[in-house]
Amino acid sequence: MNKNLSNAARLQLRLSRAVCYIILTLISVMCLISFYVLIINSTRSHPDILRGFSFLPGKSFFYNLKSLMANANLPVVRAIFNSLFVSGCTALVTTYFSALTAFAIHAYNFRFKRAAFAFILMIMMVPSQVTALGFVRLMGTFNLIDTFIPLIVPSVACPIVFFFMKQYMEASLPIAIVEAARMDGSSEFRTFNFIVLPIMKPAIAVQGIFSFVTAWNNYFVPSLILKSTENKTVPLLVAQLRNADFLKFDMGQVYMLITIAIVPIIIVYLLLSKYIIRGIAIGSVKE
């Protein structure tokens, strides 16, 4: 195609490409600069940080890590395990039950099917914060305050993941497969677990990652539910640090805690970004 262009047009194209690359690079720098500062500062000692900013890393990475781990007010390791547990369970529960709900709507014909579907779509847009007040009080009545159950079990009903699964099933789960399984004598539940779920693997992977990240980053609900120090998740420690008196704090520890809260997600994302970006595009836009 380029051959047909005149010299002037080719020059113009090259110029506009250059402008695009420059702007894209500037935007990327804008996205990355704060993370760069974060990682640099997490390797520098408190006095160094106070002395002014440097673009080069320091030598105190392990010192900061060790002193953060030794800080009894910030049980980081415990918080990471809590966060991993809650986020992992949430991801499992959410993907499994959303797929199950989507399968119910996709594979069966029953009287209230359309109504059920419309209802789930309707509640998709209700912000979880508006039910928070009643939710917290109810959890108080059930004696579930300061446990992980109120953070995990509600993710069974996740309309957005359901919607994604439903879209995916429409594209890649022919009913004939379900019927074939029936002919072979598989029960409906078995069909779902051993035939439908494996077909849904790509969708489950993408949504699993998203649910995990969302749960890992969640602050609003955990801050209302979790009370004791040993049950706190990572975002709660971050908030606790903001509450603390900053003048008394070792800034190396502060940057180190933020690094620990953010960097694991960055690493996982960089490894899986290709699938994640494709996943957002399929799930969010209807054809």
Partner 1 sequence: MNSVHDQVTAVRKKNGSISYAKWGYIFLIPFFLVYVIFSFVPLISVFYNSFFENYMSGLKQVGPNFVGLENYATLFNNNLGKYFYNTLLIWVLGFIPQITISLLLASWFTSLRLRLRVTGLYKTIIYLPNLIMASAFALLFFVLFSDAGPVNDVLMHLGIIDQPYRFLSEVAGTRGLVIAMNFLLWFGNTTILLMAGIMGIDNSLIEAAEIDGAKSFQMFRLITMPLLKPILIYVMITSMIGGLQLFDVPQILTNGSGSPDRTSTTLIMLLNNHLYSKNYGLGGALSVILLIVSAVLSLLVYDSMTREQRMAQREKKRMKEGAGNE
Beta carbon nearer to partner 1, 63 or 257: 257
Beta carbon nearer to partner 1, 63 or 165: 165
Beta carbon nearer to partner 1, 69 or 157: 157
CA 201, 219, 27, 267 torsion-angle sign: negative
Provide, rounded to whole angstroms, the least separation between the CB of residue 37 and partner 1.
Answer: 6
Contact 229, 242 (CB under 8 A): no
Beta carbon nearer to partner 1, 129 or 172: 129
Provide, rounded to whole angstroms, the least separation between the CB of residue 51 and partner 1.
Answer: 9
Provide, rounded to whole angstroms, the least separation between the CB of residue 62 and partner 1.
Answer: 21
Q: Which residue has the tokens 């490894």?
A: 271
CA angle 203, 208, 212 (to 5 degrees): 155
Provide, rounded to whole angstroms, the least separation between the CB of residue 221 and partner 1.
Answer: 11
Which structure tokens are listed for 186? Answer: 């598989």
Beta carbon nearer to partner 1, 127 or 198: 127
Distance CA 147, CA 249 (A): 30
Distance CA 1, CA 14 (A): 14
Provide, rounded to whole angstroms, the least separation between the CB of residue 72 and partner 1.
Answer: 20
- CB count within 10 Å of CB 4 equals 6
Beta carbon nearer to partner 1, 53 or 66: 53
Provide, rounded to whole angstroms, the least separation between the CB of residue 96 and partner 1.
Answer: 9
Contact 63, 45 (CB under 8 A): yes
Show the DSSP H helices in the chain as ranges: 7-42, 46-51, 61-70, 76-107, 113-124, 132-141, 149-152, 159-172, 175-183, 188-191, 197-199, 201-217, 220-225, 234-243, 251-284
Provide, rounded to whole angstroms, the least separation between the CB of residue 216 and partner 1.
Answer: 7
Beta carbon nearer to partner 1, 217 or 229: 217
